[in-house]
Amino acid sequence: MNSTSGNAAGAVQISYTVTFPEAQAHYADVEMNISGLAQNTLDLKMPVWTPGSYLVREFAKNIESFTASAINKAIDAPKLNKNTWRINTTGLSAVTVKYRVYCFEISVRTSFVDASHGFLSTSGIFVYPDKMLNAPSTIKIIPYKGWTTVSTSLEAVNGDQFTRHSPNYDILFDSPIEVGTQDVFGFDAAGVKYEVCMVGGGNYDKEKLKVDMAKIVEQETAVFGENPNKHYVFIVLNAQRGGGGLEHLSSTVLGASRDNYTNPAGYRNFLSLVAHEHFHLWNVKRLRPIVLGPFDYDNENYTTDLWIAEGFTAYYQNLILRHAGLITPETYLAAITGEINTIENQPGAKIQPLAEASFDAWIKSYRPNENSINTGISYYDKGAAVGMLLDLEIINDTKGKSSLDDVMKYLYNTYYKGKKRGYTDNEFKQGLEKFAGKNLDEFYKNYVYGVTPLDYNKYLGYAGYKATDEAAATNDPSLGVMIAEQNGKKYITTVLRGGAGWIDGINVNDELVTIDGAPVTDVPTMLNGKKVGDKITVTVMRDGLPITLPVTLLRNNRMKYKVDSLPDVTPAQMVVRKKWLALGE
């Protein structure tokens, strides 16, 4: 990643010391020493977001007791705005700043400290001097009692694991730090030293993980032709129920459920998460949309390309497992089936184009509400499906000689390594066109900038497969709502666009009380024997008042796709299938 320009950064020296005197109360205490200053004012800032997670999280909200001093005398450090402190440094060459950070949000993108360990999501821990993002710094960790180990991709200074060096702030904010008593093991793959840091215990089999994770690393390295790291760290936060991940340049943080490793589907999901986050070390961390680095840490960074950065990564997370032989073709096709069903049963797929879903991630995808299903589409799900369509297009157009892999490798070489910058929307499209050997204007117009339903069967057909909606012939009546039970009462959680509930005015949060006068039990059972077009009477409690609603039942239009082989697969289709699913000869 590049760093932004800064003035006088070469002259200043910056060091941080992090201590945990009240780890049990979830505090990390930070002392920052800056010397070599030659300016009258020093503005210290904290990022408002962490790259990879497209939401302004206002990390400065967790800071308290911010003080500054010089030559052992307190100096004022008033706040200039929500995330900036201004220090008058006239006549001073060095200042010390101290502050406390409350860390009690357990996730892969926020910090958490308790008596057992500390997970530091660095963009929410370290303030930086304004306009000096390219300044190096030293980070010293003083562990809480009983803590023995530091895990991070930041280089150790003189072999001391508790003292780390950061070459600039883009690297520091991209290098989470785990400190505690974590279980650490390693493996070598693709010429890189991999470290796996297991926090929170779990029923994992280390030897199996080493083998399977190495296969993923090798397979992904083959896509791009090189693995740019020397050392890479997987920080795995195991919890009773954990999930999610966040990518970094030379590390990643994964959330996992500690008892899920012995469950075959749970283990497969974990490997899929490993494949996803590790694939990001290329796709988005290096091969990236042009606005995603150097970052603006004060504001939203808007891109229409998260369907590539996240969606293609989501496409590859399962494809890589298939290509590495970690899942069967049948399991892979089942994953695709699930994806198709997710997209097609989301009314918002007909409302929000993929490029717009990406641009509005900050205010929509990361801030979902009860109507999100009706108004939006996930750039993960639909981006993955579009990635699949393009992969099949290229494989078919080249009769199995090229695939989406070649596009990714070409763009990585051209933009990250060659031009040392991100790609524009059009440059990525041109990369796809180069390998497909055709103009993709229409494809983009329909599927990226428009909401035309994806023509799965055109593309799956290239590989001799077909997706069929098994529910197409049914004509069951439905209220078109989703219901959750709470304290024995039934509440509406979702009203699906265009369904009976939507048209006749059932609202989210309504308590469903009676249907045709009978107390509500199981709704599908109560609709047994009714037909599409039948009129029923529904009573609900809304804001403490009873309301009676005449409802005309409509067809349950929930789709249930399955993907099958065509009866007669041609040799040309078999060529595509073999390449796509790595079936060998």
Residues making contact with Zn ion (CB under 5 A):
310, 313
Token reading at 313: 């990564």
Q: How far is the CB of 276 from Zn ion (least distance, A)?
A: 6
Q: How far is the CB of 317 from Zn ion (least distance, A)?
A: 8
Q: How far is the CB of 299 from Zn ion (least distance, A)?
A: 21
**Residue 260 or 313 having the CB closest to Zn ion:** 313
Token reading at 456: 């799965």
**Residue 310 or 339 having the CB closest to Zn ion:** 310
**Residue 310 or 393 having the CB closest to Zn ion:** 310
CA angle 264, 266, 269 (to 5 degrees): 110
Beta bridge partner(s), residue 50: 53
Q: How far is the CB of 247 from Zn ion (least distance, A)?
A: 6
Is 228 strand, coil or helix? coil
**Residue 220 or 310 having the CB closest to Zn ion:** 310
**Residue 101 or 275 having the CB closest to Zn ion:** 275
**Residue 325 or 338 having the CB closest to Zn ion:** 338
Q: How far is the CB of 358 from Zn ion (least distance, A)?
A: 13
Long-range contacts, stretch 40-43, CB < 8 angstroms, 24+ apart: 40/88, 40/89, 40/90, 41/86, 41/87, 41/88, 41/89, 42/86, 42/87, 42/89, 42/95, 42/129, 42/130, 43/80, 43/84, 43/85, 43/86, 43/87, 43/129, 43/130
Q: How far is the CB of 284 from Zn ion (least distance, A)?
A: 7
**Residue 117 or 382 having the CB closest to Zn ion:** 382
CA angle 508, 513, 519 (to 5 degrees): 145
CA distances from 368 to 371, 377, 540 (A): 8, 11, 25
CA distances from 160 to 18, 93, 118, 304 (A): 15, 28, 18, 42
Q: Are the C-beta atoms of residues 341 and 454 closer than 8 Å to each other?
A: no
Cα separation, 99 vs 45, whole angstroms: 13
**Residue 315 or 456 having the CB closest to Zn ion:** 315
In this structure, are strands 177-180 and 231-239 parallel, antiparallel, or unpaired? unpaired
**Residue 313 or 539 having the CB closest to Zn ion:** 313
- H or E segment to which residue 460 belongs: helix 456-462
Half-sphere exposure (CA, 13 Å, Cβ side) for 111? 32
Token reading at 509: 């949060």
In this structure, are strands 231-239 and 251-257 parallel, antiparallel, or unpaired? parallel
Q: How far is the CB of 119 from Zn ion (least distance, A)?
A: 19
Token reading at 68: 């500054």
- 3-state helix, strand, coil split of the chain in percent (to 5) is 30, 30, 40
**Residue 339 or 504 having the CB closest to Zn ion:** 339
Radius of gyration from C-alpha coordinates of the chain: 27
Q: Where are the alpha helices (DSSP H) in 37-153?
A: none
Cβ-count burial of 533 within 10 angstroms (0-12 exposed, 13-18 middle, 19+ buried)?
Answer: exposed
State the chain's maximal CA–CA distance in angstroms: 86
Q: Are the C-beta atoms of residues 5 and 80 closer than 8 Å to each other?
A: no
**Residue 117 or 280 having the CB closest to Zn ion:** 280
Question: What are the DSSP calls for 81-103, one per residue?
Answer: ETTEEEEE-TT-SEEEEEEEEE-
Cα separation, 293 vs 133, whole angstroms: 12
Q: How far is the CB of 308 from Zn ion (least distance, A)?
A: 11
**Residue 57 or 577 having the CB closest to Zn ion:** 57
Beta bridge partner(s), residue 69: 74, 96
Give the residue among 310, 9, 213 at the shortest CA–CA distance from 131: 9
**Residue 109 or 490 having the CB closest to Zn ion:** 109
**Residue 284 or 576 having the CB closest to Zn ion:** 284
**Residue 122 or 313 having the CB closest to Zn ion:** 313
